[in-house]
Amino acid sequence: MTEETLSKGEKTRLAIEDAAFELFMEQGYHATSMRQIADKAELALGGIYNHFSSKEDIFSAIILDKHPYKQVLPIVLAAEGDTAEDLIRNAARALVTELGNRPELLKLIFIELVEFNGKHISTLISEIAPKILPMFEKMIQVRKNLRKLPPPILVRSFLGMFFSFYITELFIQDSVITKLMPRNSFDLFVDIYLHGVIKESA
């Protein structure tokens, strides 16, 4: 749906979401008031309540409309590779790169986790899962000797592994630990994801 095809009410609703999102990124959820959101959206305070019943209602809408998976998922799914290794490497690099390009998306995740205990995320699961499973079906096709693991476990382990790579990169940047990291640390993460850390016996 383009901007031109939106109704006046839909445009107002999006303006409220955009204003709230910007404020949440700047000062956090709890420090943001409904009046601040109204002022930034250039609305009367009462006008917000024609579209949202509460501040949390706005946040729930933002989670659905602006959650990182909306940007990340298409890029991950577009990854190609002739082998499972290449496919995972390309998809993981796309995930990490996009997170790096959109730092505000990480803030949204942390607000959801810290201030809401992740309670809104469940609303996304039914939408996300069917869309990401094709990547793992593609992976199975290019490598027949993969262990027979349930696709949801493959999805969860992939997202967890490479999201943690991005997060830990942030933690150790500009620290002495960075100097101890090999230059191919990303490729080693891919290797660990695919093969584990236990050396195969001869």
Same domain, 74 and 112: yes
Q: In this predicted structure, what is the pLDDT of residue 1?
A: 47
pLDDT, averaged across the chain: 81
In a domain, 200, yes or no: no
Q: Is the four-CA dihedral 36, 40, 45, 46 of positive or negative sign?
A: negative
Domain boundary among 32, 50, 65: 65
Tokens 């909306």 correspond to what residue? 70
pLDDT in tens, 93-109: 888 888 888 777 778 88
Q: CATH number of the domain at 16, please.
A: 1.10.10.60
Burial class (CB in 10 A: 0-12, 13-18, 19+), 36: middle
Same domain, 118 and 180: yes
Nearest C-alpha neighbor of 22 from the set 41, 47, 35: 41
Mean pLDDT value of segment 73-102: 80
110 has pLDDT over 50: yes
pTM over 0.75: no
% of the chain beyond a pLDDT of 90: 20
Burial 157-169 (b: 16+ CB within 10 A, else e): ebbebbbebbeeb
Same domain, 19 and 36: yes
Nearest C-alpha neighbor of 64 from the set 21, 26, 23, 28: 21
**Count of structural domains within the chain:** 2
Are 188 and 182 a contacting pair, CB within 8 Å?
A: yes
Q: Can you give the residue range of the structural domain that contains 40?
A: 3-65
pLDDT in tens, 145-189: 677 777 778 777 887 888 888 888 888 888 888 888 888 888 898
Highest mean pLDDT: which of 26-30, 40-44, 64-68, 160-164? 40-44
